[in-house]
């Protein structure tokens, strides 16, 4: 395909759009840890943002459920392993740089956030501060026995 671009630009473009980015996200970025957005497949609500390394990505594909890498605990985190609120993966997208992942999921239990809200984004900017919007679906104390 000739875009009227210099040959080197076409070569770089082709490389980006094919071999390097179609097979897997580009884990050479972000020290191997890429942001992964979870969006409710039915409602479109953005639920949370986690991080994936290559192993988390492979586990997500293998299990069909979202597996992240916990930056605080420094280990794989199969979302829902404690609460039962797993995320069943319905579709996976990658962005133009292949360094951000978007999961469309079915959120088991109706809540992604450990605070008990459907979405982790439960605080909205009022113009001067963030105020809680929405209602809790569960009581964190009843779900997490060892906080």
User: How far apart are the C-alpha atoms of 130 and 126, rounded to whole Å?
Assistant: 6
Going 108 to 145 to 124 to 94, the CA torsion angle's sign is negative
Contact pattern for a copy of itself over residues 108 through 127, marking x by CB under 8 A: -----xxx-x--xxxxxx--
Half-sphere exposure of 2 (CA within 13 A, CB side): 1
DSSP H or E segment with residue 28: none
By the rule CB under 8 A, 27 interacts with a copy of itself = no
**Bridge partners (DSSP) listed for residue 68:** 77
CA atoms within 13 A on the CB side of 100: 7
> Which residues are 28's β-sheet partners?
none
Q: Candidates 38-46, 62-70, 75-83: pick the segment binding a copy of itself (CB under 8 A).
A: 38-46
Q: Does 1 bind a copy of itself (CB under 8 A)?
A: no
From residue 52 to residue 91, the character string flagging contacts with a copy of itself as x (rule: CB under 8 A) and all else as - is ---------------------------------------x
Tell me the three state secondary structure of residue 119.
coil
Q: Is 96 annotated as contributing to ligand binding?
A: yes
Report if residue 32 touches a copy of itself, rule: CB under 8 A: no
Where do contacts with a copy of itself occur on this chain (CB under 8 A)?
3-5, 9, 21-23, 35, 37, 39, 43-46, 48-49, 91-98, 100, 102, 113-115, 117, 120-125, 128-131, 133, 141, 147
Annotated binding site for Mg(2+): 95, 97, 99
Binding residues for Zn(2+): 96, 113, 120
């Amino acid at each position: 395909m000739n875009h009227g671009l210099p040959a080197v630009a076409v070569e770089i473009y082709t490389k980006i759009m094919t071999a390097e980015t179609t097979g897997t996200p580009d884990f050479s970025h972000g020290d191997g840890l890429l942001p992964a957005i979870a969006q409710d497949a039915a409602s479109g609500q953005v639920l949370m943002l986690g991080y994936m390394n290559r192993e988390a990505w492979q586990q997500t594909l293998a299990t069909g459920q979202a597996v992240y890498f916990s930056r605080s605990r420094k280990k794989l985190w199969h979302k829902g392993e404690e609460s039962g609120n797993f995320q069943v993966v319905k579709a996976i997208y990658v962005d133009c740089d292949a360094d951000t992942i978007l999961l469309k999921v079915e959120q088991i239990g109706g809540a992604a956030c450990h605070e008990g809200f459907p979405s982790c984004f439960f605080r909205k900017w009022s113009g001067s501060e963030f105020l809680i919007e929405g209602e809790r679906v569960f009581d964190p104390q009843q779900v997490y026995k060892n906080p």
